[in-house]
A = this chain, B = another copy of it.
Amino acid sequence: MRDTCEDRLVDPERVSDVRTRMPSSPEVKNLADVFALLGDPNRLRLLVALSEAGELCVCDLAATCAMSESAVSHALRLLRAHRVVAVSRRGRRAYYRLEDAHVRMLLDLGRSHTEHATPLHPAEVAQ
């Protein structure tokens, strides 16, 4: 069972050309990781909220996004691990902010489209 069909290419020139311009595997993985972080509705909500508010504590984030504080904490932990958000601890509270300028741009670009666009059509699988 041939997997990658190295042979029998239709347009070998284009394939090898595109291959040279493809990002490396770790690059692809990193970029996919970023997109995946934005690919969960709850995390996305949190990031939008932080983008709008500038800074919010976990409790207020939970209220703003209608999530449990535990879910918020878990999500923030992930985002923190990827340096997308940063914390400032004051007293017994933890204030989070959006720290990654790149993610902010992706967020803005995404939102600028979605607001005025037609929703996707996942139902129409058949062409």
**CB within 8 Å of B: which residues of A?**
3-6, 8-11, 14-15, 17-19, 21-23, 25-41, 44-45, 48-49, 52-53, 56-57, 59-60, 62-69, 77, 80-83, 87, 93, 102, 105-106, 109-111, 113-115, 117, 119-125, 127
Q: How far is the CA of A49 from the CA of B21 in the complex (A)?
A: 8
Q: Name which residue of chain B comes closest to A95, CB basis.
A: B10
Q: How far is the CA of A23 from the CA of B49 in the complex (A)?
A: 10
Q: A6-B63, A64-B22 are in contact. Are A81 and B30 (CB under 8 A)?
A: no
Contact B115 A49 (CB under 8 A): no
Residue of B56, B81, B102 touching A113 (CB-CB under 8 A): B102
Contact B93 A27 (CB under 8 A): no
Say whether chain A's binding surface is mostly helix, strand, loop, or mixed.
helix
The quantity of this chain's copies bound in the complex is 2
Q: How far is the CA of A37 from the CA of B120 in the complex (A)?
A: 12
Contact B68 A122 (CB under 8 A): no
Contact A120 B62 (CB under 8 A): no
Contact B18 A64 (CB under 8 A): yes
Contact A56 B14 (CB under 8 A): yes
List 17 interface pairs A-B (beta carbons < 8 Å), by A numbering: A4-B63, A5-B62, A9-B60, A14-B56, A15-B63, A17-B53, A18-B52, A23-B48, A23-B114, A27-B114, A31-B44, A32-B39, A81-B123, A81-B125, A82-B122, A83-B120, A106-B109
